Structure 1
Amino acid sequence: MATDNINEMSMNEMMQQVDASMKKIHKGDLLKGRVISVTDSEVMVNIGYITDGIIPKSEISDKEVDIKEILKQDDEIFVYVVDINDGEGNVLLSKKRADKLKVWKDIEENFKKGTAFDVKVNEVVKGGVTSSINGVRAFIPASQLSISYVKDLNVYLEKTLTVKVIELDQQKGKLVLSAREIEKEQLEMKKKQVWDSLQKGQKRTGTVRKLMKFGAFVDLGGVDGLIHLSDLSWKRVTDPSKVVSVGDVVEVYVLDFDREKNRISLALKDVSKNPWDEVKDKFKVNEVVEGTVVKFTNFGAFVEVEPGVEGLVHISEISEERIAKPSEKLKIGEKVKVKILDIDSQKNRMSLSIKEAIDKPVEDFSKYTDKEDEGVTLGDLFKDKLKDFKVE
């Protein structure tokens, strides 16, 4: 009798130990199990519970599949607990529900971490495009496709995009992705790399992105720099489109930069070949040379005597006559002779004169002789002039 009690207690203790060793499961749990057996109609799975789980064929996939091609004995899979007891003492499981739930958990994890991943665009819909993440439908609004404006969404069909989750609601089945956010992050990284590597005097390659009246903006790889009109060429430039076009790949020099103000000054002209460095060797004061009128100001006209070398003709040096503005005597593009009055190569300045370059006519004494004054000599003319002077 005592032996029976001892055996009974031992059996109870064993069952308690077995129960304690078995994990507790609940309806709706997502579990990891090992496939025990596979038939044409169901899969038996060890889920570490007191009884095994059964996955009917209808819970394998939403598509018509051959179970034996999908699952094999000893495969480790995730399963969803549909019911603790299927009526026959087994736990009813679902693989397709587990797959979707696992996908949502992975998506949520990506959302929390801000992880980027690739998706393929399946369809163009109103306001954007759609894709699928392991059976979960995702929406990418048109505004989230790119940093740039997207005119035709159809160009994204079948295209693979790197995206991140920006909004999700599993209960509503709502999942919103963004490729624009990834582009922004990549652009910020490129900007940092450019700023970190900038040096004055450095030569870099860039692409002309935009033309303005005052110059051209060049993309250096995520950061724009400005080539001012005066730095496009050593020659005077009034229209940047005459030197560069949008899309041109150009070699530029870094003149200066200010990271806090987000400004980079560039030059297209070769800063090492300043034509003013050779001005004193090529030109001399009092020399008369030919140039081209390139600009008017209120105080005079600028004349280019060599590509990149201009001198100022003050308004008082344009003509012997008194004029109010340079355009009264000159035209832009006109070729003129100028006399060099002064050269300051350090300040890149040259003073010129047009009136000093013009040959002054010799006084025409024939005006004092006509038909009525025939026979009058030059001496007579001087005597006539001397009459006006009295010597005291």
Structure 2
Amino acid sequence: MEITVAKSAGFCFGVNRAVHMVHDLLEKGEKVCTLGPIIHNPQTLQELHAKGVQIVESPEEAPSDATLVIRSHGVPQSVLDEIQTRQLKCADATCPFVKKIHTLVSKASAEGKIVLIAGDKNHPEVEGIRGYCGDCYIFKDAVELEQLTSNIPHLNQKPVLIVAQTTFSVSEWENCLEIIKRVYTNATIFDTICNATAKRQSEAAELSEHCDAMIVIGGRQSSNTAKLRDVCRQNCTTYLIETADELPLPALKGAASVGITAGASTPASIIKEVLVTMSEFIENAGANSTESADTSFEEMLEESLKSLNTDEKVHGVVVGIAPNEVYVDVGRKQAGFIPVAELSADPNVKPEDLVKIGDEMDLLIMRTNDQEGTIMLSKKRLDAAKGWETIAAAEENEEILTGVVTEVIKGGVIAVSNGVRVFIPASQATASRNDPLEDLLKKEVKFRIIEVNRNRRRAVGSIRSVLKDERKALADKFWEIAEEGKEYTGVVKSLTAYGAFVDLGGIDGMIHISELSWGRIKHPSEVVNVGDTVNVYIKGLDSEKGKISLGFKRAEDNPWEILKRDYPTGTVADVTVVGMTTFGAFARIIPGIDGLIHISQIADHRIEKPQDVLKVGEVVKAKITDIDFDKKRVSLSIRALLEPVEEEVAPVEEEAADAE
């Protein structure tokens, strides 16, 4: 086994400075208390506690005769003010990199800028930074940043300063920067991730790419240690331990190479203890040989089997099934069993879902225990050996494979195909980056292999590549038969200010906002939502540009057709006054159609303005006196309903005059 230790493992400058400050105070005979744990390492804290160092949660708890040490994370200005008010002796061990952030956000807030902080809102460093801000918002990753931009859209119109927690994930910061540069074009950005943090994460990532397993040493409460674990976990099996006693030695037996890194709060003594324990383990196991980079997979497999005291391949018959293992008869005096972890590459599988009594299968002997009379077997490893040939061939031939997504992990998903775990990055897992990865869990998917590392037994796949080809095939078929007027049933895929995009099954078309309703609307969401199933028809096709214009409104719903059918000229209707002008009032006849009541048609006598008789919202009876369908105009009259009374009087008066 080859062991490699990352160059930047262990104490960073800020933590080292804080711990030394406490030790220096103790050597001077001073009574010391720290504002919160000085370091996220239980062993170091125990050592300091034994020397009399007390941990307090607030300045109020600090003894008046003790020196209060502020840890490297820093504290809000209000805490410093309280320390000064209480006249406590204080030693400030705030990391200079953190103090720089305090200065940046304090100045920005004084200038009226809004501060955005990339980090864990519950981490003491972020709590300290927040104490120097006015208006500020905190996001822990790109997902929360996207939510922030949606929930508070006005932020992109204001001056913004953006900083990061010094131990923030470098890769996640890069994801956030893509969003920041797209949305907050007026933002001032400071990359405040500590250089030591960035270097430590970079080295850990590179080392984990070349190792079968990684050991990350550090306190479980340490933010930067947790990020190291997450970085390494993307590339290989990773274990987080606090001391050498927690080393997973049995699990490391099959590893040809092991990498070791440590968080910024891990003392050198603990790293050394882990190395000594690992060296003794290798010496005792007799596994001090390493493989060259060009060793074939078959040779590596054979060597790993030797280190596991493996015997040979055998053929077995399932004779029993338990929750944690399967019992197999391999034709020997020993009882054969397959641990559930060695049954399948899917960690969530249940034995009864995979095998039944009487099933026959080829297996690999992993360990023989003559004293107990048992043989430990593996189906997973033999499947993987065979499966790798299929995986490698699939990459060369660009063959499409099928597999089941068994895990959703940071950065993507794991799919099992032919007994091999294939990593599919988030960028390659779905048709759109906004599609949730969780929807893929337990689903069978099709993918291509885009990268294979046989030495490290790693494969990278792409579901998006297959989906893209499938959509292209559907699109080609669509264009062959598409014609204007043809109707389709589709699903609303996304909304914009100017319309709705509809998935017609492999190709998208757009319903312009003017086509969504016969009435006036401000946004497509007033009519449809993402995910709605809609019936549409093709209004226009542009095969060269690949654009499809869709119609959504139905002719029978056209309010002008309804008016023509149900409200001919001469109809008396109840109308609602919706607006006033100097020359008359507009009234709603039916939704989508307003008519004009000219000022001369409002009353049977002269009026100065429409408001003298009518008010907005009032319902009145009016007669439709004229309809111009070409110009989409309707004339209404209230007076026409009053004039017949006057017109009946006029002839009588005329007859009387004639009689005289």
TM-score bracket, normalised by the shorter chain, equals 0.5 to 0.7
Measure how far apart 1:180 and its partner are: 1.9
Q: Deviations over 1:81-139 (max 9, x none)?
A: xxxxxxxxxxxxxxxx9997875554344224322111233444442233455565432
Q: How many pairs are equivalent?
A: 282
Q: Does 1:254 align with 2:534?
A: no
Cα pair distance change 1:358/1:240, threshold 3 Å? farther
User: Is the 8 Å Cα contact of residues 492 and 531 (structure 2) preserved in structure 1?
Assistant: yes
Q: Which amino acid aligns with 1:350?
A: R
Cα pair distance change 1:233/1:153, threshold 3 Å? closer
Q: What is aligned with 2:211?
A: none
1:2-21 to 2 correspondences below 5 Å = none
User: Is the 8 Å Cα contact of residues 208 and 246 (structure 1) preserved in structure 2?
Assistant: yes
Moved more, 238-247 or 172-181: 238-247
Cα pair distance change 1:138/1:300, threshold 3 Å? farther
Q: Name which of 178, 197, 211 aligns with 2:481.
A: 197
Other structure's SS at 1:110 match: helix
User: Is the 8 Å Cα contact of residues 119 and 162 (structure 1) preserved in structure 2?
Assistant: yes
Q: What is aligned with 2:555?
A: 271
User: Is the 8 Å Cα contact of residues 317 and 353 (structure 1) preserved in structure 2?
Assistant: no
Q: Does 1:352 align with 2:616?
A: no
Other structure's SS at 1:222 match: coil
Distance in 2 (CA, whole Å) between partners of 1:195 and 1:299 is 53
User: Is the 8 Å Cα contact of residues 423 and 459 (structure 2) preserved in structure 1?
Assistant: yes
Cα pair distance change 1:148/1:297, threshold 3 Å? farther
Cα pair distance change 1:280/1:176, threshold 3 Å? closer
Q: Name which of 457, 461, 476 aligns with 1:177.
A: 461
Distance in 1 (CA, whole Å) between partners of 2:600 and 2:543 is 46
Q: Does 1:342 align with 2:626?
A: yes
Measure how far apart 1:188 and its partner are: 2.6
TM-score normalised by L of structure 2: 0.34
1:116-265 to 2 correspondences below 5 Å = 116-134=400-418, 136-149=420-433, 156-211=440-495, 216-234=500-518, 243-265=527-549
User: Is the 8 Å Cα contact of residues 276 and 348 (structure 1) preserved in structure 2?
Assistant: no
Q: Deviations over 1:181-237 (max 9, x none)?
A: 212222232333334333222222122344556554433223333444554455665
1:3-152 to 2 correspondences below 5 Å = 67=314, 106-134=390-418, 136-149=420-433
Distance in 2 (CA, whole Å) between partners of 1:113 and 1:300 is 76
Q: Which amino acid aligns with 2:632?
A: R
Cα pair distance change 1:251/1:341, threshold 3 Å? same
User: Is the 8 Å Cα contact of residues 234 and 269 (structure 1) preserved in structure 2?
Assistant: yes
1:268-307 to 2 correspondences below 5 Å = 268-271=552-555, 274=558, 276-277=560-561, 279=563, 282-285=566-569, 288-293=572-577, 303-306=587-590
Distance in 2 (CA, whole Å) between partners of 1:128 and 1:187 is 22
- Structure 1 gaps of 5+ residues are 1-27, 31-54, 71-96, 364-392
Distance in 2 (CA, whole Å) between partners of 1:124 and 1:63 is 32
Measure how far apart 1:341 and its partner are: 4.5
Q: Which amino acid aligns with 1:221?
A: G
Distance in 1 (CA, whole Å) between partners of 2:562 and 2:475 is 39
User: Is the 8 Å Cα contact of residues 311 and 352 (structure 1) preserved in structure 2?
Assistant: no
TM-score normalised by L of structure 1: 0.53
Q: Which has the larger radius of gyration?
A: 1
Q: Deviations over 1:297-328 (max 9, x none)?
A: 999876443455x24427767866566x99x9
Q: Deviations over 1:221-259 (max 9, x none)?
A: 233334445544556656655554443323233333334
Distance in 2 (CA, whole Å) between partners of 1:233 and 1:114 is 47
Cα pair distance change 1:135/1:289, threshold 3 Å? closer
Other structure's SS at 1:291 match: strand
Cα pair distance change 1:261/1:348, threshold 3 Å? farther
Other structure's SS at 1:67 match: strand
Other structure's SS at 1:257 match: strand
Q: Deviations over 1:251-304 (max 9, x none)?
A: 233333334444433344432565545755654546553334567899987644
User: Is the 8 Å Cα contact of residues 317 and 355 (structure 1) preserved in structure 2?
Assistant: no
Q: What is aligned with 2:264?
A: none
Other structure's SS at 2:446 match: strand
User: Is the 8 Å Cα contact of residues 597 and 637 (structure 2) preserved in structure 1?
Assistant: no
Distance in 2 (CA, whole Å) between partners of 1:298 and 1:170 is 83
Distance in 1 (CA, whole Å) between partners of 2:581 and 2:499 is 21
User: Is the 8 Å Cα contact of residues 406 and 442 (structure 2) preserved in structure 1?
Assistant: yes
Q: Which amino acid aligns with 1:187?
A: R
Measure how far apart 1:176 and its partner are: 1.0
Distance in 2 (CA, whole Å) between partners of 1:239 and 1:132 is 44
Q: Deviations over 1:143-183 (max 9, x none)?
A: 22212447875654544321101223334544211112212
Q: Which amino acid aligns with 2:487?
A: K
Cα pair distance change 1:151/1:351, threshold 3 Å? closer
Q: Which amino acid aligns with 1:223?
A: I
Cα pair distance change 1:262/1:129, threshold 3 Å? same
User: Is the 8 Å Cα contact of residues 589 and 595 (structure 2) preserved in structure 1?
Assistant: no
Distance in 2 (CA, whole Å) between partners of 1:145 and 1:284 is 59
Higher normalized strand content (fraction of residues) = 1
Distance in 2 (CA, whole Å) between partners of 1:263 and 1:312 is 38
Measure how far apart 1:339 and its partner are: 4.2
Distance in 1 (CA, whole Å) between partners of 2:399 and 2:412 is 22
User: Is the 8 Å Cα contact of residues 622 and 637 (structure 2) preserved in structure 1?
Assistant: yes
Q: What is aligned with 1:23?
A: none
Q: Which amino acid aligns with 1:351?
A: V
Q: Which amino acid aligns with 1:181?
A: S
User: Is the 8 Å Cα contact of residues 598 and 637 (structure 2) preserved in structure 1?
Assistant: no
Other structure's SS at 2:472 match: helix
Distance in 2 (CA, whole Å) between partners of 1:177 and 1:342 is 69
In percent, how many aligned pairs have the same letter?
36
Other structure's SS at 2:555 match: coil
RMSD: 5.0
